[in-house]
Amino acid sequence: MVKMETAELETDLSLFKYDSLEQLPPQYRDLETSERTERIEAALEELGDDVVILGHNYQRQEIVEHADFIGDSYQLSKEAANADAEYVIFGGVTFMAESADIITDDDQTVILPSMEASCPMAGMAEALQVDAAWAEITAATPHETIIPITYMNSYADLKAFCASQGGLVCTSSNAHKAFEYAFEKGDKVLFLPDKHLGENTAHRLGMEDAIAEWDPWDPEGKDAAAVAESDIILWDGYCQVHERFTTDHIEQVRDSNPDAQVIVHPECRREVVEAADKAGSTAEICRTVEEADPGDTWAIGTEIHLTEHLQRWHPDVNVLPLCGDACMDCNAMRQIDPNYLTWVLEELVAGRERNVIDVAPEEKELAGLALERMLEI
């Protein structure tokens, strides 16, 4: 393999998690679809086993069609852990690529085609903010042990913080197990950043009366007394793609399709999960449609690209978007566009690494421990 040089491109964007944000060179901005596909395939042929492409279920078709593995964030973190390739190209968002970097060996390099793919929910719990909250919450509960759990949708420094306090990471498919683990070790759980997944998990465990919310942006919303009384403290973060779904959408879809069953992601509001027939991670949503009988109708409450993939993958099942044309794509996932994929692959062929995700060594070890604890539950 050619010796790599780290690219240095001028950029004036500093809004995102990584300051190595590189903009797409102009010659890659208007590629024709067929030319682009040919160039991606040619680069992949050239790179051979040196590269593996992981594609999250929310990625657009032009990305997943090149992926070696497609899945939810949990499945992809396992694929990253098993990958032998020198380069892992992550079709997903920053927090997923960070987890891949933490889990893979030191001689493997993780590339996120566009550094602008930053999940807004992950940005709702900055480690500094969490440190301040932790000081207040622990002061309000001096005689109890609080175990912090962070959803996978968070940055590496927060994962490291959770590990340092005896906590762990979870995904939407194993949040209930993470809560059980935490209650074996301590008295209370601080769950970050998604309050809806936290609330839905509390219901699943029959602990819905034990919830308090912590709103880090609102001085009135930080109620230390409520926290002292409650066993589950939920950070006030959310996903705007999933918060959009309402019980009206469920009623409307059932009115126009009386046979329809509804499945939603657990990032949806509590009342939506309650009104649906089923709730589950993106992998569970895929499994449900895969196992459906021909002619069944499933309305899907999650990011629109997954619904479109399911329509394509299972033409014998009637797959509907839960809120019709109003269903959203994820703005962060959308940043991974096929022009970026072409660019990072052709740069690798030329011996240059672009948009490398490299988690700071001091965070890697502890964040890795938080992920390991998750993989063991």
Q: Which residues are annotated as a binding site?
A: 56, 73, 119, 151-153, 172, 239, 265-267, 282, 330
Beta bridge partners of 356: 111
The answer to whether 310 and 331 are in contact (CB under 8 A) is no
**Interface pick for ligand 13P out of 281, 288, 318, 335 (rule CB under 6 A):** 281
Least distance from ligand 13P to the Cβ atom of residue 58, Å: 7
Whole-number minimum distance, CB 122 to ligand SF4, in Å? 7
Which residue carries 């050619």 as its tokens? 2
Q: What is the DSSP letter of 71?
A: E
Give yes or no for a contact between 73 and 56, defined as CB atoms under 8 angstroms apart: yes
Q: Is the Cβ of residue 93 or residue 367 nearer to ligand SF4 in the bound state?
A: 93
Annotated binding residues for iminosuccinate, as ranges?
A: 56, 73, 151-153, 172, 265-267, 282
Which string of DSSP letters, residue by residue, matches 317-339?
SEEEETTGGGPPPPHHHHT--HH
Residues 226-245 vs ligand 13P: string with x where CB under 6 A?
-------------x------
Angle at 225 between CA 220 and CA 230, to 5 degrees: 110
Q: Does 63 bind ligand SF4 (CB under 6 A)?
A: no
Binding test (CB under 6 A) with ligand SF4, winner from 239, 260, 320, 344: 239
From 21, 24, 93, 170, residue interacting with ligand SF4 (rule: CB under 6 A): 93
CB of 157 to ligand SF4, least distance (A): 17
Q: Is 192 in the site for ligand SF4 (CB under 6 A)?
A: no
d(CA 263, CA 250): 10
- Total number of residues that touch ligand SF4 (CB under 6 A): 11
Binding mask 168-187 for ligand 13P (x = CB under 6 A): ---xx---------------
* Cα separations in angstroms, 1 against 86, 337, 347, 350, 365: 10, 27, 13, 10, 28
Nearer of residues 39 and 196 to ligand 13P, judged by Cβ: 196
Q: Which member of 292, 330, 357, 359 binds ligand SF4 (CB under 6 A)?
A: 330
Element housing 195 (H / E): helix 195-204
Rule CB under 6 A: which of 94-153 touch ligand 13P?
152-153
What string marks each residue from 43 to 72 as x (binds ligand 13P by CB under 6 A) or -?
-----------------------------x
Q: Are 260 and 246 in contact (CB under 8 A)?
A: no
241 binds ligand SF4 (CB under 6 A): yes
Taking the C-alpha atoms of residue 153 and residue 124, their distance in angstroms, rounded to an integer, is 10
Candidate list 64, 100, 119, 327; residue touching ligand SF4; CB under 6 A: 119
The stretch among 113-121, 165-173, 211-219, 292-300 that binds ligand SF4 (CB under 6 A) is 113-121
List Cα–Cα distances, 91 to 47, 107, 185, 369, in angstroms: 17, 20, 35, 24
Q: Which is nearer to ligand SF4, 332 or 344 (CB)?
A: 332
The mark string for 303-342 relative to ligand 13P (x by CB under 6 A, - otherwise) is: ----------------------------------------
Decide whether 83 or 121 has the Cβ nearer to ligand 13P: 121
Which residue in this structure is represented by tokens 């002619």?
A: 295
Residue corresponding to tokens 């380069």: 87
Q: Confirm if 299 and 265 have CB atoms less than 8 A apart.
A: no
The nearer residue to ligand 13P, 200 or 282, going by C-beta atoms, is 282
Tokens of 263: 């499945």
DSSP E strands: which ranges in the chain?
5-6, 51-56, 69-71, 87-91, 109-111, 146-151, 168-170, 188-192, 211-214, 232-235, 261-264, 278-279, 297-301, 318-321, 352-353, 356-357
Nearest-angstrom CA–CA distance, 50 and 43: 11
Chain mean position to CA 209: 28
What residue ranges in 176-251 does DSSP mark as E strands?
188-192, 211-214, 232-235
- The residues that touch ligand SF4, with contacts defined as CB under 6 A, are 93, 119-121, 153, 239, 241, 303, 330, 332-333
- The residues that touch ligand 13P, with contacts defined as CB under 6 A, are 72-74, 152-153, 171-172, 239, 267, 281-282
